[in-house]
């Protein structure tokens, strides 16, 4: 991907210096411009998640401090104060365009624990389906060692993979990536596009950022490499460019694109196919076999006749036909204990049986790899 013209889901990360007027408090005028540009993207049918820095910077301003503190407890307290203002400001500016927002505070633990990961993904997908713009920030108040260089760059990449976004846009106060630091080398060459797995990428990005946030170019290219593992492209561009998002949506080349080595789908399939230790399996009837292998449908509980092993929601399991042959494998939406209770049930009866509905499918087609895609073992 070299533009956002054809992108459906975008994660946009804006740095502290773009939302707090270089540390002088929340810049409502700047936020309003971002809201307007995002509103235009949404009018084109795109779904947008916004990862916003600025809570600590806003807290520092509200507390009247002249410099960023170093003590962890003071940073956490500043984040708690600043987050209030940041959420209120975003709600206000998006309301001008008739758009609802939702605040989501995440930690890396939320995205490394499989159950919490799936819950966060379900919440975000629901909000996007409701045409809401989620505003995501690192939950600085409860982290113990994560208020550090580049947290929200990393968070942006993690969210990109979480919701399987098409691209991550990292908007900063720098125009993009150079082959060396342009502040030290007047001969530095600007890079319009580079592979996210380029061996010299980190070396090119060695340098510092602004004094307001925590990010530098290094953290941004590391985030891009992380997003590329899920098949997403990353753009690093200056948020000070006029009408940046509109120009990007029209195909204009701005900033630096870091491209993945493979598509999102192939990357996802490779990850699931590579699971050698599966948590368990389900056995499905012939109708479900046809639905999965020929129609590429999701697996519903009505087609499932038995479950083997003990596993939790989010585990990678095998899907077997009634002779024990593997038909597919994928990420399961229910635990083995829950599946036992809803075998052969139509999806609309799940809530009556369990008292709740996590998903209508046992395994969604987006989280399934059909056996024909597997490489034949040697």
Sorted by sequence, the CB contacts under 8 Å of residue 242 that are 6+ apart come out as none
Q: Do residues 235 and 169 lie in contact, with contact meaning Cβ atoms separated by under 8 Å?
A: yes
Domain hosting residue 368, numbered range: 272-373
221/312 same-domain check: no
Residue with tokens 């900033």, as numbered in its chain:
255
What pLDDT is stored for residue 16 in this prediction? 79
Query: H helices of the chain, where?
Result: 16-19, 28-43, 55-63, 72-95, 108-112, 114-129, 151-162, 201-204, 217-229, 244-249, 264-273, 286-293, 336-342, 350-354
59/148 same-domain check: yes
Among 219, 235, 261, the domain boundary falls at 261
The total of structural domains in the chain comes to 2
Q: Please state whether beta strands 190-191 and 177-178 pair in parallel, antiparallel, or not at all (unpaired).
A: antiparallel
Helix (H/G/I), strand (E/B), else coil: 48: strand
* pLDDT tens column, 168-182: 999 988 889 888 777
Sorted by sequence, the CB contacts under 8 Å of residue 284 that are 6+ apart come out as 292, 299, 303, 304, 305, 319, 320, 321, 322, 327
> Is there a domain that residue 176 lies in?
yes
150/230 same-domain check: yes
118/150 same-domain check: yes
Report d(CA 208, CA 288) in Å as an integer: 55
24/150 same-domain check: yes
339/253 same-domain check: no
226/353 same-domain check: no
Order across the sheet with 281-284: list the strands. 304-308, 281-284, 316-320, 326-331, 368-370
What pLDDT is stored for residue 150 in this prediction? 44
Helix (H/G/I), strand (E/B), else coil: 46: coil
What pLDDT is stored for residue 23 in this prediction? 62
Report d(CA 121, CA 128) in Å as an integer: 11
Helix (H/G/I), strand (E/B), else coil: 128: helix
Among 261, 281, 299, the domain boundary falls at 261
What pLDDT is stored for residue 290 in this prediction? 95
> Is there a domain that residue 16 lies in?
yes
pLDDT tens for the chain, 378 residues: list them.
667 888 999 999 998 788 877 667 788 999 999 999 999 999 999 999 999 878 888 888 899 888 888 888 898 899 899 999 999 999 999 999 999 999 999 876 777 666 787 788 889 999 999 999 999 988 877 766 544 434 688 889 989 988 989 999 999 888 898 887 777 788 888 999 998 888 888 778 774 444 443 347 888 988 998 888 888 999 999 999 999 999 999 999 999 999 998 766 665 666 666 666 788 999 999 999 999 999 989 999 999 999 999 999 988 899 999 999 999 999 999 999 999 999 999 999 999 999 999 899 999 998 898 876 444 333
> Is there a domain that residue 229 lies in?
yes
191/311 same-domain check: no
Domain containing 100 — which CATH number?
3.40.1160.10
Sorted by sequence, the CB contacts under 8 Å of residue 219 that are 6+ apart come out as 149, 150, 153, 154, 209
Whats the size of the chain, residue-wise? 378
Domain containing 368 — which CATH number?
2.30.130.10
Q: Check residue 176 and report its DSSP letter.
A: -
Instruction: Give the other-Cβ count within 10 Å of 52's Cβ.
Output: 25
What pLDDT is stored for residue 270 in this prediction? 62
Order across the sheet with 193-195: list the strands. 101-106, 133-138, 47-52, 9-14, 167-172, 233-238, 256-259, 193-195
189/288 same-domain check: no
The partner residues of 50 in beta bridges, in order of sequence, read 12, 135
* pLDDT tens column, 115-154: 787 788 889 999 999 999 999 988 877 766 544 434 688 8
Q: Check residue 350 and report its DSSP letter.
A: H
279/246 same-domain check: no
> Is there a domain that residue 168 lies in?
yes
Nearest to 248 by CA among 173, 174, 171: 171
E strands in the chain: 9-14, 47-52, 101-106, 133-138, 167-172, 177-178, 190-191, 193-195, 233-238, 256-259, 281-284, 304-308, 316-320, 326-331, 368-370
> Is there a domain that residue 86 lies in?
yes
> Is there a domain that residue 195 lies in?
yes
24/53 same-domain check: yes
> Is there a domain that residue 185 lies in?
yes
338/193 same-domain check: no
> Is there a domain that residue 378 lies in?
no
Among 261, 287, 312, the domain boundary falls at 261
């Amino acid at each position: 991907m070299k533009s956002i013209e054809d992108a459906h889901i975008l994660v946009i990360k804006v740095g502290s210096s773009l939302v707090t007027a270089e540390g002088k408090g929340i810049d409502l005028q700047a936020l309003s411009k971002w809201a307007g540009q995002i509103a235009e993207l949404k009018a084109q049918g795109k779904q947008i998640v916004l990862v916003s820095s600025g809570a600590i910077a806003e807290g520092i301003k509200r507390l009247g401090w002249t410099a960023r503190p170093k003590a962890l407890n003071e940073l956490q307290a500043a984040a708690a104060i600043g987050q209030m203002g940041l959420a209120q400001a975003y709600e206000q500016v998006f309301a001008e365009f008739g758009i609802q927002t939702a605040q989501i505070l995440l930690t890396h633990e939320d995205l490394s624990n499989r159950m919490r990961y799936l819950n966060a993904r379900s919440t975000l997908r629901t909000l996007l389906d409701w045409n809401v713009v989620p505003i995501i920030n690192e939950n600085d108040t409860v982290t113990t060692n994560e208020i550090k260089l580049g947290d929200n760059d990393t968070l942006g990449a993690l969210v990109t993979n979480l919701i399987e976004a098409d691209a991550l846009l990292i908007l900063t106060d720098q125009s993009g990536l150079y082959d060396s630091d342009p502040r030290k080398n007047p001969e530095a060459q600007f890079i319009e596009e580079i592979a996210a797995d380029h061996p010299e990428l980190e070396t090119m990005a060695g340098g510092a950022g602004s004094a307001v946030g925590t990010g530098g170019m290094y953290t941004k290219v590391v985030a891009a490499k992380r997003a590329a593992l899920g098949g997403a492209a990353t753009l690093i561009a200056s948020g000070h460019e006029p009408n940046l998002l509109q120009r990007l949506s029209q195909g204009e080349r701005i900033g630096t694109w870091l491209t993945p080595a493979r598509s999102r789908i192939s990357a996802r399939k490779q990850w699931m196919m590579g699971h050698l230790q599966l948590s368990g399996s389900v056995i499905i009837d012939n109708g479900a076999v046809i639905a999965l292998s020929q129609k590429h449908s999701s697996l519903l509980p009505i087609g499932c006749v038995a479950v083997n092993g003990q596993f939790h929601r989010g585990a990678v399991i095998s899907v077997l036909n009634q002779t024990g042959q593997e038909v597919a494998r994928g990420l399961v939406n229910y635990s083995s204990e829950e599946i036992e209770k809803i075998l052969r049930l139509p999806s609309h009866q799940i809530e009556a049986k369990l008292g709740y509905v996590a998903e209508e499918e046992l395994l969604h087609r987006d989280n399934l790899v059909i056996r024909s895609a597997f490489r034949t073992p040697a």
